[in-house]
Amino acid sequence: MDISGTTSCIIRNRDITFEDLIREKEYNYFIENSKNCPDTIKMVSLSIQHLDKLPDELLLFTNLESLDLFYNCINEDQFYKISHLANLQYLSLRSNNLTQVPKEIFNLTELKVLDLSRNQIKNLPHQIVNLSKLEELYLNENILSEFPEDVFKLNSLKILNLSNNNFKRIPLKITTLPNLKELHLCEM
């Protein structure tokens, strides 16, 4: 391979598409430019980046309100980076191959929307009650088999999506959530 005149060469261990290069360029651009004004950033989307690690710069975004990490494969040891985002109101971890809910999420007490759909989550921890401001919870397309009883303590909940799980029964108590407007329980 002739690389004369090339100032840098990246050798990858897999075939890479043009779309992969565009995503990588956008990701690197975001990281470089966000260092200049981290406290003014309110929304970050790192979706479909095939990330297994979260950027360290995420710790600088003290006023972040929305974080979309859809379709990545983030390692469990990386979630400490979001636990300090005290103003976070929206978090999507959809399609990250999670087998459990990261415990760091339960520190995000301002959270209003939590999307954990399309993972491999087996149960919902009791700490979900810490998210008392939660209005929308998406747990569809996981492998939950026991209905998460602690959901009944989330009185601000307006939308609950538990579709396409492995429930054996749905408690009638589900009708007692005072603000619930949408309930999704269908099985495909």
Q: What is the pLDDT of residue 56?
A: 87
Q: What is the pLDDT of residue 30?
A: 62
Place 169 in a pLDDT band, splitting at 50, 70 and 90. Answer: confident
Domains of the chain as residue ranges with CATH: 18-184 (3.80.10.10)
* Maximum pairwise Cα distance, the chain: 71
Question: From CA 173, how far away is CA 171, in angstroms rounded?
Answer: 5
For residues 48 and 24, the answer to whether their CB atoms sit within 8 Å is: no
Place of tokens 């602690």: 150
Three-state SS for 24-46 is HHHHHHHHHHHCCCHHHCCEEEC
Residue 160 pairs with which residues in a beta bridge?
137, 183
Question: From CA 122, how far away is CA 148, in angstroms rounded?
Answer: 10
Q: What is the pLDDT of residue 1?
A: 35
Place 64 in a pLDDT band, splitting at 50, 70 and 90. Answer: very high
Q: Are strands 159-161 and 136-138 parallel, antiparallel or unpaired?
A: parallel
| pLDDT tens sequence across 117-142 | 999 999 999 999 999 999 999 999 99
Q: Is 99's pLDDT higher than 80?
A: yes
Average pLDDT over residues 43-56: 90
Q: Is 19's pLDDT higher than 80?
A: no
